[in-house]
Structure 1
Amino acid sequence: MTPQQQTRQAAVEAAAYRIRQHALAMGEVQGQGYVGQALGAADILAAVYADQLAFRAEDPAWDGRDRFLLSTGHYAIGLYAALAEAGIVPVEELETYGSDDSRLPMSGMSTYTPGMEISGGSLGHGLTIAVGLALGLRARGNPARIVNFLSDGELDEGSTWEAAMGAAHHRLGRIIAVVDINALQADGPTAGVLRTEPVAEKWAACGWHVQRVDGNDVGALLGAFDAIAARIEGPEAVDDGGHGAPSVILCDTKVGRGVPLLEEREKAHFMRIEEHEWAVCQEQLTAGYAEQTREKVAL
């Protein structure tokens, strides 16, 4: 790894750490919530907002921005943390999470929150919106990319696969789907609710360019995004400026990542965390990040 790559990766890892800190702080406001998903997806959100997306923090509606669609509205706590890290939402506003009249409701609402592109509480709609949005942007000559974040539980939805086929049919190469595969949904382990494997082969059969990575490995995530950029815009681009196969990154993640106390929780979809446990969570997160940083310096 070159020094430049090391610096880039370290910056994203630091952003992921702060996103996790913000998510824990917001969760403590309510004493409960979808904290485990936010912790598990923090590395993905950091890679997107700290390294990938084109945006203007002072103008969230800038027409030239890349669009990030949070199909999983209940992951909003993680996105709010990322928006704060990106400077789109003031960090001090995170204290209002889930409160009356807050711009940060517990499930994402596009009418309330700067930088929240869609209301994604009902699962299975994000990718269909991405297809329509991509067609509209193409008609206007806007080269913005669309990153659609969805969960493995959403792969239970038929609308997701209709959209996947539609994106490939229309050659919407500027769509990037990012699937958080944490193997858990509201009714239990994903494999027990509705088995989706072999999931990579299914996306490939729909005509997508597929990569599968450890979604808690920042280096692997950046490598996957770089491979997509090379396909779309590099000197040896293969899909004619975005008129090619859409891309999907399948990200295997762990609910509660970075906080051992929460990683081992049996009921982890919607967590209820005792008052005395919040300080322990922050301490474990800080200690883990410090150890990770020391190990990299030693290398």
Structure 2
Amino acid sequence: MENQKALENLCTQVRRDILRMVHGVSSGHPGGSLGCTEFLVTLYGEIMDYSTDFKMEGKNEDVFILSNGHISPVFYSVLARNGFFPVSELATFRKLNSRLQGHPTTHEGLPGIRIATGSLGQGTSVAIGIAQAKKLDGDQHLVYTLQGDGELQEGQIWEALMYAGAKKVDNLIMTIDRNGRQIDGDTKDVLNLGDLETKLKAFLWDVVHVKKGNDLEAIYEGINTAKAKTGKGKPVAILLDTEMGHGVDYMMGTHAWHGKAPNDDELEKALQQNILEELSDY
């Protein structure tokens, strides 16, 4: 990774954005957002071929679909920091008349957003449709999508998995944020997902396992491994082992911060754990 130090600094800045955004309106989902920071920073900073001259159709460029839309703070921050819209707009998160809704929506015309993802379980199906459209158009670019592991308890995802495998949608890379936690507790206690790798393979998917899901280099290598498996008759899934609340010590190791905003003292403590020499807070 040529720009690893820059990406590490960007991860710190994105974490600060996430924390300040949810604190500013006393609502939002910091846990999963913090856990997926390294993934999205790497995806947009090193992997995807895209244009910030945003076109909804996404022709002749890679496309990303966020299925677990409640982690919108990290998505908005990464989009803004990569030039899709002004960083200053992050200050409007979840406020009246903002384009930055709690869950991404499309009618406000926010660049980078191609699907409204408030109801879980739908992003996989949409990503498959986009991937098949690219095949029909002769577009060699890839479609990426991110799902939460708790989200896999939605039946629609398994219908989509079955379809993609049977139809050999091999220009699709689905990443599963496997942090083991959801809003009501640990996934193993709420509804155990069992052996995901074996299940995905049974649905005719190739699988890549990234055990260090909050490590930039491991993520970079894992996605490139997944890319090398595309075009060979199978969709590809990445099992990304992350830590919910990564980068803030009191948010890690628990599901409590899935959808809870820090208060003033908690924000200050979290920001002190994410300091940069050159801050560019909005």
Q: Same fold (TM over 0.5)?
A: yes
Correspondence for 2:247 among 228, 251, 258: 258
Report 1:37-186 matches (<5 A).
Answer: 37-61=32-56, 63-112=59-108, 113-186=110-183
Kept after mapping to 1: 8 A contact 2:183/2:256: no
- May I ask how many residue pairs the two structures share in their alignment? 275
Percent sequence identity is 31
User: Whole-Å Cα distance in 2 between the matches of residues 249 and 151 of structure 1?
Assistant: 12
Match of 1:239 in 2: none
User: Whole-Å Cα distance in 2 between the matches of residues 229 and 266 of structure 1?
Assistant: 31
User: Gaps (5+ residues) in structure 1?
Assistant: 233-241, 291-299
Change (3 A) 1:147 1:63: same
Kept after mapping to 2: 8 A contact 1:35/1:271: yes
Kept after mapping to 2: 8 A contact 1:149/1:178: yes
User: Whole-Å Cα distance in 2 between the matches of residues 54 and 266 of structure 1?
Assistant: 34
User: Gaps (5+ residues) in structure 2?
Assistant: none
The DSSP-based 3-state class of the residue aligned with 1:212 is strand
Matched, 1:33 2:31: no
Kept after mapping to 2: 8 A contact 1:31/1:275: no
Kept after mapping to 2: 8 A contact 1:131/1:172: yes
Correspondence for 1:229 among 222, 227, 230: 227
User: Whole-Å Cα distance in 2 between the matches of residues 19 and 145 of structure 1?
Assistant: 25
Kept after mapping to 2: 8 A contact 1:70/1:117: no
Q: Output one character per residue of 1:74-124: Cα deviation in whole Å (capped at 9) or x when no partner.
A: 011110011011110210000000000101011111222210111111111
Change (3 A) 1:199 1:231: closer
TM-score, normalization: structure 2?
Answer: 0.92
Kept after mapping to 2: 8 A contact 1:15/1:50: no
User: Whole-Å Cα distance in 1 between the matches of residues 125 and 54 of structure 2?
Assistant: 26
TM-superposed CA distance for 1:164, in Å, is: 0.9
Query: What is the identity, as a one-letter code, of the residue corresponding to 2:248?
Result: V
Q: Output one character per residue of 1:146-203: Cα deviation in whole Å (capped at 9) or x when no partner.
A: 1011000111112111111111111111100011111111222111111112111111
Kept after mapping to 2: 8 A contact 1:60/1:88: no
TM-superposed CA distance for 1:42, in Å, is: 0.2
Match of 1:216 in 2: 214
User: Whole-Å Cα distance in 2 between the matches of residues 143 and 14 of structure 1?
Assistant: 32
Higher relative contact order (CA 8 A, sep 6+): 2
User: Whole-Å Cα distance in 2 between the matches of residues 266 and 222 of structure 1?
Assistant: 26
TM-superposed CA distance for 1:266, in Å, is: 5.5
User: Whole-Å Cα distance in 1 between the matches of residues 183 and 253 of structure 2?
Assistant: 17
Q: Output one character per residue of 1:210-256: Cα deviation in whole Å (capped at 9) or x when no partner.
A: 11112111111111111123334xxxxxxxxx252111111111111
User: Whole-Å Cα distance in 1 between the matches of residues 127 and 93 of structure 2?
Assistant: 27
TM-score, normalization: structure 1?
Answer: 0.87
Match of 2:13 in 1: 18
User: Whole-Å Cα distance in 1 between the matches of residues 164 and 253 of structure 2?
Assistant: 37
